[in-house]
Structures are given as C-alpha cells and as structure tokens.
Amino acid sequence: MDVFEPVAGVESAFRPWLPSSSLIARDEARRYSVAEGAAAVRECFRHLQGSEWFERVAAFEAPVSRLGRPDLRVTDLAPAVEALASAAGDSCDSVVLHRSLSRLRYILDRCDEEARTVQEHSFPIRSANDISLARECALRLARQDGFSLMNATYVATVVSELGRNILHYAGEGNVRISAILKDDGVTCDAIRVTAEDHGPGIPNLEVILSGSYRSKTGMGLGLLGSKRLLDEFQVKTSPGGTTVTGLKYAPGH
C-alpha cells in the first residue's frame, strides 16, 4: 500500500481510528479499479495548474502521477480529492474546478457501490511492469479472500507466468483476475485468472502440456507450471489468438 506524504488538513483522512463510514474502512472490504476516478482527478489537477492554489497542492504531484495505475484503490483517490478541495477552498471562483470536484466526489461514492458488484481486475499487458502490477494485485486479492500465503503465491505466480507468455509470444494482451463468488454473493469460491492475446497461437500445445518440451530460452515451462499450480486449467488456442483460463479454489470450496 502506498503511503502518501502527510499534509496538514488532509492527514487526518488517513488515520486508522476514523469511523467505519470512512473511505478507508469501506475500501478495506474490496479492491477494484477506478480508472474513471483517476481521470477525473487528473482533470482537476490540470485546472489547478497555473492557478494561485497550485503551490499548495504541489506536494500531491507524486500521488497524482500514480493515478494511472490499473490497481488503483479508492484510498489512492481520496487524498487527491481532499487536497484539491482544501486547495480550492471557499474562495475558489473557478466554476470548472468546483464542478469537477463535485464530479470527483460523485465518482468516489459510486466506486463504493461498484466495490460490491465488480469483482474483476483487468490488466493490459504491454511491458514487464504491467506484469508486476497484475501479480501484486493477484496476491493481495487472494490474501483478502482468505487464501493461504502458499495458495496466494500460486495464483500470483500463475499471473506472472501467463503475463510473460503474452509478452514473449504475442507482444501484448490482457490478464484478468476475478473472484468467483458463492451463492451467498459474498464469500469467494475461487479465483479465476484469464490471459488473452491475439498472438500466433500455440501450435504444439499438447507437447508443451505433456512436459516433454523445453524451449531454448527456458520459456515453455510457464504454461505447464501454471497448470500444475492450479485446480482447473483450460487453454483455447488458434492462429488468431490464445485464451488461457485457470482456477484456484478458495479454502472451503
């Protein structure tokens, strides 16, 4: 979890003894992506730039630069919004800024609703850094859903391996991590990892999964290794692309 620089007036928003209605308490229930909120925060900061308040929010440049991260949480947005609000103050005469601030608060509220319904985290894979983000998200998600450290490590490693395969063989693609819920709609039953790309496909899939294949670069073990780490594993491949879907059961499945 990223730690923001404490700033007078905003710092209190991070104190752990806040009532349960705080953004942090609500956010602890579930992680999710709030890319829309991030875009809105960036928009607000653009309005602030060049204005007289900008001096006061300069300290928040670092958190704002992180808003592009796909594993963003609502706690990443809250301080930026509060910084904007306190910088703008009552004397603010910029209608645009006030409008974007209220839009921001609206998005933050809506994110809380999404937190209960959206269970999927999608990561575009274009660089090794994207893989790290997906991997960290997978680890946290699995741990939050009650997976043991070992099983959470399995899931995160699978995300990493499949992400690497995408990067190496297809150039780019997408990794999605989602929690499959039980009928009660709350308890996690399994974590699903889906890796998709539009690469050339895997012509020798059966050889790879039989374990008798070993590529010169040392790749190739990623797919078989992932299969060994998971409870369910499925590969759909054609010259138009590949989709790998894997499932790791939650404790109590």
Binding residues for another protein, rule: CB under 8 A, are: 128-129, 131-132, 135-136, 139, 149-150, 152-154, 156-157, 160-161, 164, 167-168, 211, 217-219, 221-222, 224-226, 228-229
Q: Which of 87, 101, 105, 107 is nearest to 37 (CA)?
A: 107
- AA identity, residue 138: A
Which is nearer to another protein, 15 or 216 (by Cβ)? 216
Q: Which of 196, 200, 189 is nearest to 238 (CA)?
A: 200
Strands (E), 92-240: 120-125, 173-181, 188-197, 232-238
- AA identity, residue 68: G
Q: In what order do the strands lie in the sheet with 120-125?
A: 120-125, 173-181, 188-197, 241-249, 232-238
Which is nearer to another protein, 56 or 168 (by Cβ)? 168
Which is nearer to another protein, 70 or 94 (by Cβ)? 70
The distance of closest approach from Cβ of residue 132 to another protein in the complex, given in angstroms and rounded to an integer, is 6
The distance of closest approach from Cβ of residue 242 to another protein in the complex, given in angstroms and rounded to an integer, is 17
The distance of closest approach from Cβ of residue 76 to another protein in the complex, given in angstroms and rounded to an integer, is 18
The distance of closest approach from Cβ of residue 239 to another protein in the complex, given in angstroms and rounded to an integer, is 22
Which is nearer to another protein, 54 or 169 (by Cβ)? 169
